[in-house]
Chain A
C-alpha cells in the first residue's frame, strides 16, 4: 500500500483524547466514587488512503475510541479533527456531512443488520439520513455499492436472514460505503467470520480501499489481519497507546515489552521454527484503578524501579518508531531522574 508522506494533512487527527466513565455509588445521593479511564490520553492520525490498525487485548479501550470518533459518546477531554475541523464542535449540516463521511463496520454481521429491514433500506439508510438524495437515486446507489462488494444488486429486496455470515458482512460493508465515506471504522470486521470467509472479506476491504481511496481505522485483535491491512499500527494497553509506528516496524522490530508479548502469543506462520517466547502473567488490571507509573509494570518481564513511579511518555525512539517505555531514554519525562532507566530489554 501507499505509505503517505508524513507532511500531508491527516484526514483524521486524534489528539490527547480521554474518555472517563464515572462509577456511581450511593443509594439516595449517587455520587461518582471513581472513574473508569477507558481511553486515557491517546493521540494518532490517519492519512488519506491509509489504514491505521489498533491492536490490544479486549477491554483496552479500542472500541471506546471508535465510539468517540463516531460521536456516539462525548469526549471527556481532547480533540478529534477531521480534515482540519474539530468534529466535537460540529453541528447542523457540517455535522450531518461528517456523519456520512465516516462509515462503520462492526464485528457481528448478525447483530448489525436489522432483521426487519430489507437490504435496500439497510444499505441506503446512511444516504437517507445524512443527505437529501431522492429515493430513486438512493436505489441506484444501493445497487452500485452492492455490486462493489460482490453481491447481486437484485438482492436489495431480500431480508438479511436470507444471507450467510460472509454475505451479511458484505451487506454491512455496502451500508458503510453507501454515503460516499472517506474514512471507514472497521471494528473487528472479520473476527466473527469463518477462516475461509475471512480472507475474502479482507481482500475485499483491501480492494475497496485501493479503488475508492478510503482510509481505514482497523480495530482487531487478530494480528495477521492488522499486519496485512495496516500502514500504521498502534498498540493499546489499558486505555493508552504504548507503541506506534509503521506496520512493518511494529511487526518486525517490536520495542515495547507488551507488543513483544502480544506478537509472541500470536500463532506463528511456521510453528516448527523455534521463536523467542515472551510470556506475561496475570490479568489486565482494572481501568478503575490503574497501576501507578507505567500501567504495564505489574506484568512486565523487564520492569524496573522507575516503572513503578514514573509514567513513561509515548516518544520517538528510533526513526519514527514511537514507544512508551522506560527502556528507551526518550520516554522518561523531563525533570525525572533517569536512574534505573538503563538496563536490559
Chain B
C-alpha cells in the first residue's frame, strides 16, 4: 500500500517536473512582443476582414480627419484619414502585408545565399574560403541603404525588386556566422566518419553539417526580420520601395512627413507600427537565441 502510494506521488512529481520543464521553456517567452507579432500576422493575413475600408479608397472630402479620440475625429476613421481621405488604420492593416511578405522572402533569399556560401567556405576552406570571405568583407563594407537605392533605381520598382535587393544585400552576415559553425562541426567525428565512407561533399554538407547549424540559421533569421522591415520602410520612405498607392508603412511615414504639422497622425501611427514590430521581433529573436543556442546565453 505504502509503496503504491509512494509510486503515485513519484509519478505525479515526475509529471509535474515535466510540465514544469515545458513551462520553463516558454516562461521566459516575451508575452507582449508575441501578442504584437501575432496581431501583425493576423492583420496581414486577414486584412480584408479587419480593415473597414480598402487601402486605396479615398474620398477627398474626408481628407485630414483626425483620430477618433481627438476633437473633430470620427468613429468611422479610428486613426484618422490622410491627405487623400484614405483611412489610416486600414492602410496600416494592409501595410502589414507588405512588411511581412518582404521580410519573409528577403530573409529566405539572404538566408539561402548566406547558408550555401557559409557551408562552402567553412567546409572547403583554402582558396574557396578566401574568395568567399573577401566577398563577405566587401558586402559588409558596402553602405546597405546606398546600394539598395542604386539597385532599386536601376531595376523596376516594386515588391519583388525590394525583396531581391534586400535579399542580396543581407547574405553576408549568414555566410560569416554559418562558416564559423561549420568550422567547428566539420571537425567532429561524425563528419570524419562520413568522409571515411566516401560521402560526397554535397552529401556531407546537406545531411551531416546543415542539420547541426540549422539553429543558428533560424536565430539569425529572426534577428534579421527587424532590420529588414526597417530597410523596406527606409526604401519606401525614400520613394524607391513599394510604389503608391499600394500601402507600405515606410511610404506612409514619407507621405505624412509633408503634413506633420497639420496632420501628425499620418506619420505617427505607421511609425509606431514599424517601431513596435521591429522591437517585438528583436525581443523574440533574443528569446529564441537563448532557447536554441545555450552557448550564447548571458551575453
- A72-B192, A104-B193, A108-B189 as given contacts; A96 in contact with B198, CB under 8 Å: yes
Q: Is the CB of B203 within 8 A of A129?
A: yes
CB neighbours (8 Å) of B199 from chain A are: 125, 129
Instruction: Output the residue of B188, B195, B198, B203 with the most chain A CB within 10 A.
Output: B198
Instruction: Decide if A310 is an interface residue (CB 8 Å cutoff).
Output: no
* A108-130 at interface with B (beta carbon < 8 Å): 108, 111-117, 121-122, 125-126, 129-130
Q: Is the CB of B197 within 8 A of A99?
A: yes
CB neighbours (8 Å) of B214 from chain A are: 116
CB neighbours (8 Å) of A117 from chain B are: 207-208, 211
Q: Is the CB of A116 within 8 A of B211?
A: yes
CB neighbours (8 Å) of B211 from chain A are: 114, 116-117
Question: How many residues does chain B have at the interface if contact means C-beta atoms less than 8 Å apart?
Answer: 17
Instruction: Decide if B61 is an interface residue (CB 8 Å cutoff).
Output: no
Instruction: Decide if A302 is an interface residue (CB 8 Å cutoff).
Output: no
Instruction: Decide if A261 is an interface residue (CB 8 Å cutoff).
Output: no
Q: Is the CB of A104 within 8 A of B196?
A: yes
Instruction: Decide if B23 is an interface residue (CB 8 Å cutoff).
Output: no
Interface of B is mostly: helix
Q: Is the CB of A126 within 8 A of B212?
A: no
Instruction: Decide if A106 is an interface residue (CB 8 Å cutoff).
Output: yes
Q: Is the CB of A112 within 8 A of B197?
A: no
Q: Mark B17-36, 1 if CB is under 8 A from A, else 0.
A: 00000000000000000000
* A88-116 at interface with B (beta carbon < 8 Å): 95-96, 99-100, 102, 104, 106-108, 111-116
* B207-225 at interface with A (beta carbon < 8 Å): 207-208, 211-212, 214
Instruction: Decide if A70 is an interface residue (CB 8 Å cutoff).
Output: yes
CB neighbours (8 Å) of A108 from chain B are: 189
Query: Can you identify 29 A-B contacts, CB atoms within 8 angstroms?
Result: A71-B198, A72-B192, A95-B198, A99-B196, A100-B197, A102-B196, A104-B193, A104-B196, A106-B189, A106-B193, A107-B189, A108-B189, A111-B188, A111-B190, A114-B208, A114-B211, A115-B212, A116-B211, A116-B212, A117-B207, A117-B208, A122-B190, A125-B194, A125-B197, A126-B197, A129-B197, A129-B199, A129-B203, A179-B197
7 nearest interchain CB pairs? A116-B211, A112-B189, A99-B198, A111-B189, A70-B196, A114-B190, A106-B189
Which residues in A have some Cβ–Cβ distance to B below 8 Å? 70-72, 95-96, 99-100, 102, 104, 106-108, 111-117, 121-122, 125-126, 129-130, 175, 179
Which residues in B have some Cβ–Cβ distance to A below 8 Å? 188-190, 192-199, 203, 207-208, 211-212, 214
